[in-house]
Amino acid sequence: MAEKQTEKDGQCVLPLSRIRTIMKSSPDVGSISHEALFLTGKATEMFVKNLATISREKSKDKMNVNYKDLAEVVNSDDVLQFLQDIIPRKIKAREYLEKLEDEDEDSS
Amino acid sequence: GQYVMEGGGDGEELGATENDDDNRGDNEPLREQDRFLPIANVARIMKKSIPKTGKIAKDAKETVQECVSEFISFITSEASERCHQEKRKTINGEDILFAMSTLGFDSYVEPLKQYLQKYRESSKGDKGGSGGADGTLEDLAEESFTQSLSTGLLTSEQANSQNVIYAPYSGAIAQNISFG
């Protein structure tokens, strides 16, 4: 890891005030300590990095991150089940159907 | 007795009090821009995980942006529940770590503890007396803490500006404690 990384380990690169806003939109949330806010921020950073990494690993395209790969990861990982509603399957199905139609046209 | 660290330092920075700068009622829906983290920040973090010449599709960025908000809410709900169960009003660091573990992000917990340590180290000089201002220390280290008090560790005045308290889970945490 780069040296700069350790300088930032005690800080969060995401806007904590926005994170707090999102946290407080959950029902029955009272106060949030500094540390809880910081940890949520760092956890979020880790989560984003992991998503990008895993989606590339599972994908044929190792260079880029595509929507499809994300949808695939989310739908195949138990821990990420809570995201299945966010990445709507219908788009995935529609793309698939469009692809089928294209293939049909090509072959006829 | 108990050494309570809540209250004092919380109001200084981000505010652990309710509705302090939200300026809106609880029943108002969040504005679109408030529901998500800025997409530029999200994209920047994603870029760190891909090769330099790699690209992130726009819809992928937007999707991750939404996932992030969902992730935060997911963790928060779980942490909040634990907090309520223990009859506390403030979600603390330990609640977050517990939620991560419960929800399947157990692999995050150790690195997060490391980050937390760095965070505490970097903030110890700023706040004067209130240290971490967080119930975590109280919850986990109360016994060793009060033992330290009784052996006079903390009465060495300002000569040692660092007082070391041993907490069970993460080794030494340096704390600035001052009285009055």
Q: Which domains does chain A have, with CATH numbers?
A: 1-61 (1.10.20), 66-108 (no CATH)
State how beta strands B171-175 and B90-91 pair: unpaired
Write out pLDDT tens, residues B105-142. Answer: 999 999 999 999 999 998 876 554 444 444 444 344 44
Q: At what angle do helices A34-58 and B106-123 cross, to 10 degrees?
A: 140
Q: Which H or E element spans position A94?
A: helix A89-107
B90: which residues sit within 8 A by CB, 6+ positions away? A30, A31, A32, A33, A36, B6, B16, B83, B135
Mutation target to probe the B interface, by most B beta carbons within 10 A, among A21, A33, A57 is A33
What's the gap in Å between the CA of A43 and the closest CA on chain B? 7
Interface contact A2, partner B, CB < 8 A: no
- Cβ of A35 within 8 Å of Cβ of B10? The answer is no
DSSP tag of A16: H
| Closest residue in chain A to residue B120, using alpha carbons only | A10
| ipTM here | 0.79
Write out pLDDT tens, residues A1-21. Answer: 555 556 578 888 899 999 999
Q: Which residues, listed in sequence order, are joined to residue A32 by a DSSP beta bridge?
A: B91
Residue A29 CA to residue B156 CA, distance in Å, equals 40
Of B9, B113, B89, B175, nearest to A46 by C-alpha is B113
pLDDT of residue B176: 55
What's the gap in Å between the CA of A55 and the closest CA on chain B? 10
Q: Which of residues 87-116 of B touch A (CB under 8 A)?
A: 89-93, 95-97, 100, 103-105, 108, 111-112, 114-116
Task: Read off the pLDDT band of A89 (50, 70, 90).
Answer: low
Write out pLDDT tens, residues B44-96. Answer: 999 999 999 999 999 999 999 999 999 999 999 999 999 999 999 999 999 99
pLDDT of residue A108: 61
Range list of β-strands (E), chain B:
90-91, 163-167, 171-175
